[in-house]
Structure 1
Amino acid sequence: MSQHTLEGRTEKEVLWFQRRSFLQAAAAWTAMGGFGGAIAQQRSNIVELRGDAMVNGQRLTPQQYIQTGDNIETGPDSTLTFVVGTTSFLVRQNTRMVVERGPTLNAVSVLRMLTGAVASVWGRGQTRQIITPTLTAGIRGTGVYTEVFPEQSYRSYFCNCYGTVDMSASGDRTVSRSDYHQSFWGEAEPKNGRMLTPARAINHTDEELEFLAKLVDQRTAWEILGRKGVKDGQGYMDQQPAGMHPAMQAPQR
């Protein structure tokens, strides 16, 4: 079990991947050919739905197909795992989001998060974005965790678990390159003059990213490298990202 720090989330939420129902659903998804198999067999692209979720204002059923352009909302004690093209999503409870359409029906261009939390793995391809009320992340092919805190004026948390991400919050910008978790806050109000500030690694685990990667026939960077760093939010990197402000050199504790 990887070390993880919880802020406003429960152990049960973060350890969703250990449930027998999910393990069975994930095995069935892979055995039936993943997303390509779902398209060919005209099956749902939902790997697992627990609890209540809404799509475009209507209750979602496990047999339905989630399309780009859909508005998704999960209820209390609910989780939703689904795949669109080369992107897999785990949506935690009380989340509101939109998956905007890219160049094709089965390509996501933007994950627009209004509130809640989503872990996601994105295959390589054209640049896509995750947009929250306080930050924007340009995704090139990576595994990430994003959470919006409405009780903190929609302050947003973003972890580049692995890959390269173009980060911006108001006028602050940096390029994050990480093999093992580099985290940021998109602030609601300037903090020491900055809107993009360093963060600890919170509310997500290595294992859930590994499972999401497997759903789209990938492996995480640490699985490929056969090594992990220290999960403190600084990332396992040879150097800090280009353009990193000096105030961002050490994560806040």
Structure 2
Amino acid sequence: MTSHHHPHQLLGRSEDELAWFRRRSLMQAAALWMASGGWAAAHAQARSNIVELRGDVLRNGEPLTNQHTVVASDRIETGPGSTAVFSIGDSAFMVRQNSRVALESDTPTAVKVLRVLSGAVASVWGRGTDRQIILPTATAGIRGTGVYAEVFADQGQRGYLCNCYGTVDLTSGSESVVSQSSYHQSFWAEPTPRNGRLLTPAGAINHTDEELEFLAGLVNQRTAWQITGRKGSKDGSGGASPSYSSGPPGSRD
């Protein structure tokens, strides 16, 4: 087999899986979603906030259907070959196959915490404070951004987080990083220190620009590169260098 260059690297996922947003059924569902008011209408409780379900998806242990509304305290589980695309408030989420996530909030229409227990989630978040993505090995504070997060169970729950654009405060143990990215800044959150560190630089893996653009479009947003018309090198460096610090979080004001 000849190797050919991909704009993204794959680790345990398939090209086909990353092309979910190109399916005609989803495009039709998304067009209908936008035509009938999009997230604002769903937010006003007029109808379901589910854009598309594929395969077997459970909510709080029960089968999830397009007629349901996902609220910010639900647990979502996807089976093999299954995906869930939905918005809650001004944020959009795509849960990949074989994933388990738990949403947490004190209000039904704004996710405060996205816990990725296993598998992977691509997400675009509207601006807001006190929002977090929690992986088994790290916590990420979100401030209006696009983020891809994945948990590698076969590597001891090793966490992966890409700040596709925006600002993310990433913490693991006593280490913290403030990541500011215009184009994919990626990190491993290690279960045990690697070369003395829990948070280490990573390459951009398992997600595409188009996935983030699709999710942003669902909630009337655009990605940083759509706004500037500029992409960097998709090597995980983010087009800027992250500021790492050790010590207790909060000790770096």
Q: Verify same fold: TM over 0.5.
A: yes
Say which SS state the counterpart of residue 26 (structure 1) adopts.
helix
Amino acid at match of 1:196: L
- Residue by residue over 1:51-100, the C-alpha shift from the partner in whole angstroms, topping out at 9 and shown as x without a partner, is 00000110111111111111110010001000000110000001101110
Classify 1:196/1:41 alpha carbon distance in 2 versus 1 (closer, same or farther; 3 Å).
closer
Of 33, 38, 41, the residue aligned with 2:42 is: 38
Of the three residues 176, 195, 198, the one matched with 2:179 is 176
2:65 counterpart letter in structure 1: T
The answer for the alignment partner of 1:202 in structure 2 is: 205
What's 2:251 paired with?
A: none
Give a deviation string over 1:140-171, Cα, whole Å, max 9, x none: 00001000011111001000000000011111
The 1:56–1:41 alpha-carbon spacing in structure 2 relative to 1, beyond 3 Å, is: closer
Question: What's the TM-score once normalised by structure 2's chain length?
Answer: 0.93
Distance change in 2, residues 1:66/1:241 (3 Å): same
Q: Which residue of 2 aligns with 1:241?
A: 242
Matches within 5 A, 1:67-146: 67-102=71-106, 104-146=107-149
Structure 1 stretches lacking a partner, 5+ long: 246-253
Secondary structure of 2:238's counterpart equals coil
Within 2, Cα distance between the matches of 1:57 and 1:220?
33
Aligned length: 242
Distance (whole Å) between structure 2 residues aligned to residue 160 and residue 46 of structure 1: 24
What is the CA–CA distance in structure 1 between the aligned matches of 2:7 and 2:19, rounded to whole Å?
12
**Counterpart code for 2:218:** L
What does 1:131-170 correspond to in 2, within 5 Å? 131-170=134-173
Q: Distance in 2 between matches of 1:198 and 1:242?
A: 11
CA RMSD of aligned residues (A): 1.5
Q: CA deviation at 1:35?
A: 1.7
Q: How does 1:8-27 map to 2 (within 5 A)?
A: 8-27=12-31
Contact 1:182-1:235 at 8 Å conserved across structures: yes
2:183 counterpart SS class: coil
For the structure 1 residues 65 and 5, does the alpha-carbon distance in structure 2 shift closer, same or farther, using more than 3 Å as the test? same
The one-letter amino acid of 1:224's match is I
Give the deviation of 1:42 after TM superposition: 2.9
Question: Aligned-pair distance for 1:40?
Answer: 4.0
Residue in 2 that maps onto 1:62 = 66
Partner of 1:250: none
Q: Do the aligned partners of 1:32 and 1:38 also contact (CA within 8 Å) in 2?
A: no
Instruction: Could you tell me which runs of 5 or more consecutive residues in structure 2 were left unpaired when the two chains were aligned.
Output: 1-5, 247-253
Cα separation, 2, equivalents of 1:39 and 1:195:
38
1:173 deviates by 0.5
Instruction: Give the match's secondary structure for 1:207.
Output: helix
Q: Which residue type is aligned with residue 63 of structure 2?
A: R
| Alignment-derived partner of residue 188 in structure 1 | 191
> What SS does structure 1 have at the residue aligned with 2:221?
coil
Structure 1 residue runs of 4+, over 6 Å off?
A: none
Q: Percent identity?
A: 62
Work out the CA distance in 1 between the residues paired with 2:175 and 2:17: 32
